[in-house]
Every structure is written in structure tokens, then in C-alpha cells.
Amino acid sequence: MLRAESELEASRLSTRTLAAEVISRNHVQLSWVAVAALVAVLSMTQVAALLQPEVASSQQIPLVQWTIGLATVLSVLMIMVERLGWLRPIALLRCAMVYQVAIAAAIAVFESAVPWRGQEMVRGTSSITLWLVGFMLLVPTTPLMASAYCLLAATTGPLVHYAMHEAMGVPAAPVNRLLIMYGPAFLMPFVAALLNLRVLRLERLAVRARDLGSYELLERLSRGGMGEVWKAHHRFLKRDAAVKVIRPDVLLVRQGREAEMLRRRFEQEARAIATLKSPHTVAIHDFGVMEDGGFYYAMELLEGYNLQALVAEHGPLPPARVVSIIRQACASLEEAHSRGLIHRDVKPTNLFLCQLGTTYDFCKLLDFGLVKRLLADGESLMTVDGAIAGTPSFIAPEIAAGAREVDGRVDLYGLGCVAYWLLTGTLVFDEPNVAAAVVAHMQKPPEPPSRRVEWPIPADLEALILQCLAKRPEDRPESA
């Protein structure tokens, strides 16, 4: 259990991604911080000018006017970037930290533009301290980032003061008064680190207890391109299940529209599998949305081997066993194709052998993450622009060539590659890199599997496999 918790933290609760995840869920707070700064710049400076004549005269200084304009523009940009989702959460977090320092520097310009009187008593502290306190309360980040940027923001006070003294001849304040004025701001980095450490610690506890329907995550089973599969336990039914979730770091490193596309693709996978009733397709038990906007679905937990691990551990399989496995996979694909669904990623790791009741070697087809639905107008759902769908060692030539119109025969090509692997323990095209493998599937004729092994392979089985591996879809079998 302790190992499972540590793996969960490593994948979902790293300090960097967790801070970005928190800000992605509470991003509206960043907008309000920018709105508050914008209101303060536009209104409070005018109010101060009305109440204090010396402040009004200082606002005639070009540097102050430029600072007001720049702070206004930065605040408006910060609001737009957050509201329109232009940046990924981690990038938005960095921009927020830079914005914190920029506004602190603007405050320092306003405060230093009013000349200090020689014996004037310091009444209060710099507004930079108030700005840092409000920012750290509303914009969570990592403790190290919080303290570093907070220290940088606090430093802008005396730095701007002495810079204006040197460049513009503004009278410099005595050191003791500057210490009283800006000293409290230099305590804020420690406060920010402790506060954000506490926030993220509470967030970790919340994530551990986060309700995935009625499922408690126990152990990570696998990690894929867009999701993770966990062994989970149903709290009420007291049965185990496999729960697949979108990895938060996958969403966090993408812009808002890309993340939404991944969520929709994940939802499509769950809905696609849920429509299939074949016992050779993995069954869906539940589907839902997490608090952070990610999706999860629970499916039956299978005990056994995927075909990749089976051959790697025990070597090539006898032809009769291969025929039995391929027939079961065909039963799953036939139903999917009849409903207009194409798997597009049939490979050994997506075919699982398990025990079902008293039946051994029961084959289940997994991972419909690249599923494509055939629509009446030929348009496909959830395609990813510029990406080749599938695994290079098992990819159909038409997919490798970027064809937009494909049908169930791409799955038969993948199934032919799987049968080849089961019989020989080798890939159809064992090339040194991905590009070479893709080109080989498009252009190179496959070697008959009987030439790869010393034992006999039935001629009709070999002929069927080679037919599935035909370059042109029309030369393959018409259906599973």
C-alpha cells in the first residue's frame, strides 16, 4: 500500500505538476488578482492624487506614467491569457510569477517617486508586502518557486528606489527608514514557502482521498501515451477492477483546447467499449469525471498475460493455439466493425489471455484509445492532426501513408502482424528505427513466417496471415 501511494505521488502528485493542477482548477483566482491590480493602478492612484498633492505632482513624471501604462497592459494581458486559455497551466504559473514581480516593481516606482523628507517618520510598510500576501494566498505554486519569486519581488523595493535616485536625482531615503519600509516584504518569501508547502500537502491528502466514483486506487499497472491503468477496489461491492485515468501531466503540458481534445478522446474510448457486448472485448463497469476535470473509467480486472509478455517469456506458440487466439480476437473485432468502430492499434500488448471461469486462454481485446468511428459523411471523430495513429511495428500501410479514409481492414493487418509474432517470436519487419519500420510496412514485402522458424506452419494458416499483411486493403480479407 505504501508503494502504491508513492507511485501515485510520483505520477500525479509531483510538486511541479500538482501546483499547476491546483492553478488549473482555481485559475479564476489569478484573474481576480489581476483585476484587483488593474483597479488599484487605475483608481487608487487617482484617489491618492486627489487626497495628497505631492502624489499628484509625482504622477507627472514620465517614468510613473509609463509604469501606470505598463502595469495596466500587463494586468489586461494576464486576464486575457487566463480567461482564453492561451497557455498551458505550467506556463501560466510561470507567467503569474513574473507578473507578481512586475507589479511589485510598479508599486516601488509609485512609492519612490514621492520624495522623502529628511526627518519624516515611516508610518506603515510598503504596499509591496500587501501585494505579496494577497498573491500568495490566491495563487498557489511550489514552495521553492513561491519563495524565489517573492524574494525577487521584495528586492524590487530598494532596488527601484536607489535606481531612481541615481537616474533621476530622486532624494534617497535613509537606510533605517528603507529597512522599516521594505523589511516586512523580505519576510514574505519564508511565509510564501510555508504557506504553499501547507497548501500542496493538503492537496496531496485531497488527491489521495479523491473520489473516483466508488473506487480506491491501489497499485499502478501500466502507463501509456495518454493514460494510466490502476488496480482499484470498489468500496461497496468489495471487488477489484482496473481503472484507467488520463494522466494529469499529459493535460498540464498541453494548451486548453488540446487538453479538451484528449478528454473527449478518452470519453470516446469509454463510450465505444461500453457499446460492445462481445465477451472477447474488455467490459466497462463505470465511467466518470474527476474533480480536476479528467476522466476515468473502470473495467474488469484481468489476471493473465498480454501476448507480448507471453511470447517474450515462453517463446513462439504452436499454430493451433495461435489459431484459437486469433479467432477470439476476430470475434471482438467483428462486432466492433459491425458498429462502425475501428480499433487502429491491434498489437500483442492490447490482446490479453486470461482465465474466464473454467476456460483458459480466453482472449480479451483492450485499449480502444485510438478508436475511430465511421460516419455517414466519412468524417472521423477525435483524430489528432499531424499524428500517425497506431504502433509502428504493427501499423497498416494506409495509416502510415496518412490516408484519411480507412476501414476495418487496418485492424486485420494489425492482427496479421500479431499472428506473425505469435508464430515466430519476431516482428514482421524488425527495423532499426521507427521511420524504417513505417517505410517497410508501406513498401517491403513480408517474409513468410515459415522461413523464420524450424517447425512446420500449416500452409493455409501462413497464406491467411500473408493475405492479412497485403499492402492494399482490397487484397486482405473483407471482414474479421
DSSP letters spanning 462-477: HHHHHHHT-SSGGGS-
SS3 track for 383-418: CCCCCCCCCHHHCCHHHHCCCCCCCCHHHHHHHHHH
Residue 322, all three cell numbers: 495461435
How far is the CA of 379 from the CAs of 383, 411, 418, in angstroms? 10, 19, 28
Catalytic residue chosen out of the listed positions 286, 345, 367, 411: 345
What letter does residue 377 receive in the DSSP assignment?
T
Task: Give the residue among 347, 353, 307, 319 at the shortest CA–CA distance from 453.
Answer: 319
Distance CA 472, CA 413 (A): 10
Task: Give the residue among 442, 425, 339 at the shortest CA–CA distance from 390.
Answer: 442
Residue 225, all three cell numbers: 501515451
Residue positions counted in the chain: 480
Alpha-helix runs per DSSP H in 284-426? 307-314, 319-338, 397-400, 409-424
Answer whether 378's CB lies under 8 Å from 452's CB. no
DSSP letters spanning 199-213: HHHHHHHHHHT--BT
Is 345 a known active-site residue?
Answer: yes
Answer whether 287's CB lies under 8 Å from 297's CB. yes
Pairing of strands 351-356, 304-306: antiparallel
Distance CA 213, CA 203 (A): 19
Identity of the residue numbered 353: L
Among all residues, which ones are annotated catalytic? 345
